[in-house]
Amino acid sequence: MNEFEPRYHLSFDTLMLQPKLEGNKIFTKVIERNRTLTVSKKPIHIVTGSCDFYGSSYTTVMSTSRRLFGDHKQKAPFLLANAFGIPFIFIPTLSPLSDQNVWISYHAIDFYETDGLGTSIMLENGQTYKLDISIPTMNRQYALAKLLERDFLKRQRNFHASFLFPPNGPPTDYPTL
């Protein structure tokens, strides 16, 4: 089923954003877990709008990635948000500002393999898509997303540990009811 929607925000159901050229306008084909729809915005506009929607900005989420990977990583994956400690990470296949860039949800990738000069990616919904990204580049992007996930989970553990076990031991002056 292909639906048309004027507005869209990324969610854990979003598996991939693909640019779709119609005439001289670029739309986005959104692949979700249980449906496919078309949004009348470029993929980068959906991403930046979603950052705003979730209380951040594209600049902030990219700065977080650059802090981990260094400033030279133009097409670094980014962590948009998290739900119950599960990070929501998206991987760009090209420069994020490129009109041909495809955004893939890191957690939606079940398997990928070389397919000619590109890469076939099987998503968790069982669908396979051939993308114009070399397997070495895909390996790099997937590894960077894994590092971003690991960094996030490590920070979460440290945050929880500091709350549960403060450096000076548990507080002794609990308020009484």
pLDDT tens for 52-94 read 888 888 888 888 777 777 765 668 888 776 655 567 899 999 9
Sheet holding 128-131, edge to edge: 109-115, 118-123, 128-131
CB-count exposure of residue 33 (10 Å: 0-12, 13-18, 19+): middle
Record the pTM. Answer: 0.80
pLDDT at 58: 85
Residues pairing with 3 in the sheet: 37
pLDDT tens for 111-122 read 999 999 899 999
Two tokens at 48? 């930046």
pLDDT at 77: 87
